[in-house]
Amino acid sequence: MTHDTIIVLDFGSQYAQLIARRVREQRVYSELLHWDAPAEQALASKSVKGFILSGGPASVYEPGAPTLPAYVLESGLPVLGICYGMQLLAHNLGGRVAPSQAREYGPAEIELLDAHNPLFAGCSVQVAGDALQVASLASDLQPAPLPPATLPVWMSHGDRIERLPAGWQALARSTNSPYAAMGDPARGAYGLQFHPEVTHTPQGAALLRAFAVDICGAAADWTPANFIAEASAAVQAQVGQAHVLCGLSGGVDSSVVAALLHQAIGDQLTCLFVDHGLLRQGEAEQVIDTFQRHMQAPLVAVNATEAFLADLEGVTDPESKRKRIGNRFIRVFEEEAARIAAQWALPAPRSPTPALRAGASVLGTDEPGSPLPAPRTIGYLAQGTLYPDVIESASGSREQAARTIKTHHNVGGLPEDMTFRLIEPLRLLFKDEVRAVGEALGLPAEIVWRHPFPGPGLAIRVLGEVTWPRLETLRQADAILLEELHAAGLYRATSQVFAVLLPVKSVGVMGDNRTYADVVALRAVTTDDFMTADWARLPYDLLARISNRIVNEVAGVNRVVYDITPKPPGTIEWE
């Protein structure tokens, strides 16, 4: 199935991916491309229905500033420019863009000059005073003019449009921007000086839906059910008769991949859970129990703690940690794949409960006398890679021109000589889309709404060298944090919560004695897509209770701090 598509061209905005995600929330498929993507890439599919031009930090009149690809206007398709994208349209079509005497950053209010324009028609506008108050019809007076309709929006710009292009009309204005929105409705072309994609613009979703569905005419068919059907067909075509090994962590991403693949290829799938010794308290047993209760695919569970900790001995650099862990994962997977393939030629064992010892495995539930599986090889490794993983691991790629922030073990941390081919069916999905797919596949809430846990595990939450005693300290502190969060009923109100063991000690006083012990940092964030995040405003009494318990119950810790850094400028994880 080919979906009608809105192409979002990224001119360097921190919100570019958010634009694509917001369009998808309207059930319209969108793709994000770099602003200088060639026409054959942007228009490769005949299903493209329109363009959205993102904001960006440049000024259109500066040398070297990103330019508007000619095919955008030559295509005759509807186009929506946002912030820099709006200025770029004006600049290219003969308007005038200049620095503003007063910049606009943050909340603002725009006055609509044409509230019935197709772009704004679906918005719930604010009206000052009583919009229904008109002069008495019995009098010979003309009806009183209606008060202006306004919208609260989010601005972030230092330039503004001072002259519109020929044929364009002003649709809205603000105190500082005479043209806060502009349009050429006959051509389906519009520009917004504000950002409709952020939640601080309450009517932003309605604006994006009006553009994608009403103006572009795109079909709203980007649904979990359609994605599952299409992804299953794509997997079947890619894999053929080969066998797939799926790395299972117990998190929502890998669980959705496992459920999707099992629906698509059945017994060609084997799931592999590797206990690398970097999990939270009791997590290995919990993952296996949950998998057995809710999933039907065969599971292999392997304890490789000693190998992972040996690789991490003396390592303090976070990038080195991630790469070493990614490398060891692949080596363990390759060893297990060879062992599993060898066993396929023998009678398959009945399915015991997988024990967490090296090499423990479950290969199926074959009944006595059932046909033996034909000898096969494992050609593919399936992973729960998501779009944010790919972006944060980007290193100068044309598609995103993003600098490497950190290497995700399942993107940039894989060895070049691995014997598997990768299959990543969720690679272009955001986290909220993955959860929706999980629910559509029938996965239980305890899996779908489980907080993310990084592939490198606690290795990137133990800052500095990773040792077993330090891991145990962090496990205890983290368990207290999660226990109290659940007891307070706030687990679902947060998106990701964890403890971090810092590589510093602090002086304290306990029982009239001086202590010099470890510091634990608590991190709790709220987010929809994990590309941006805000720190969670947990109640003070809850934080006090957590801090008190950690200091009293976890040996070697005498101080607890709370991280109140949003993303950006920070990342969610500390390493």
Residue 519: closest CA among 482, 479, 474, 571: 474
Hey, is 38 helix, strand or coil? Answer: coil
The tokens describing 202, both together, are: 């309450």
- Residue 23 backbone phi and psi in degrees, to 5: -65, -40
CB 101 within 8 A of CB 28: no
Q: Which of 3, 34, 83, 157 is catalytic?
A: 83
Distances (CA, A) of 224 to 29, 231, 266, 390, 420: 12, 10, 20, 21, 28
Q: Where are the alpha helices (DSSP H) in 186-317?
A: 204-209, 224-239, 252-265, 283-294, 305-312
Q: Count of CB atoms within 10 A of residue 516's CB?
A: 9
Residue 251: closest CA among 484, 414, 410, 489: 410
CB 386 within 8 A of CB 296: no
CA angle 42/45/47 to nearest 5° reads: 110
Q: pLDDT for 366-425, tens place per residue?
A: 233 333 334 456 788 898 888 767 655 543 443 443 444 455 444 445 667 777 788 999
pLDDT number for residue 520: 98
Report d(CA 113, CA 116) in Å as an integer: 9
Residue 125: closest CA among 143, 145, 110, 140: 110
Report d(CA 236, CA 256) in Å as an integer: 16
Over the range 163-178, which residues count as b (16 or more CB within 10 Å of their CB) and which as e?
A: ebbeebeebbbbebbb
Report d(CA 260, CA 298) in Å as an integer: 14
- Percent of the chain predicted with pLDDT > 70: 84
Residue 33 β-bridge partners: 9
Q: pLDDT for 150-179, tens place per residue?
A: 889 988 878 889 999 999 999 999 888 899
Distance of CA 59 to the CA centre of its chain: 29
Mean pLDDT of the chain: 85
Q: Name residues whose C-beta falls within 8 Å of residue 464's C-beta, 6 or more positions apart in sequence.
A: 316, 470, 503
Q: Which of 197, 392, 433, 573 is catalytic?
A: 197
Beta strands (DSSP E) in 131-257 are: 149-163, 169-173, 181-184, 189-192, 243-248
Report d(CA 31, CA 428) in Å as an integer: 9
Domains and CATH numbers, the chain: 5-215 (3.40.50.880), 224-448 (3.40.50.620), 461-562 (3.30.300.10)
CA angle 148/151/155 to nearest 5° reads: 125
Residue 164: closest CA among 187, 186, 181: 181
Hey, is 471 helix, strand or coil? Answer: helix
pLDDT number for residue 68: 96
pLDDT number for residue 393: 56
Global pTM value: 0.74
Residue 554: closest CA among 502, 516, 517: 517
pLDDT number for residue 81: 97
| Under-50 pLDDT residues of the chain | 129-141, 143-144, 346-375, 394-405, 408-412
pLDDT number for residue 127: 58
pLDDT number for residue 293: 86
Euclidean distance between the first and final Cα of the chain, in Å? 40
Over the range 182-214, which residues count as b (16 or more CB within 10 Å of their CB) and which as e?
A: bbbbeebbbbbbbbbbbebbebbbbbbbbbbbe
Residue 292 β-bridge partners: none
Residue 271: closest CA among 283, 282, 252, 255: 255
116 is catalytic: no
pLDDT number for residue 388: 67
195 is catalytic: yes
DSSP 69-113: -HHHHHT---EEEETHHHHHHHHHTT-EEEEEEEEEEEEEEEEES
83 is catalytic: yes
Check residue 431 and report its DSSP letter: H
**H or E stretch at 336:** helix 318-343
Strand order in the sheet with 299-303: 299-303, 269-275, 243-248, 378-382, 421-423
Q: Which of 195, 243, 262, 408 is catalytic?
A: 195
CA angle 306/310/311 to nearest 5° reads: 120
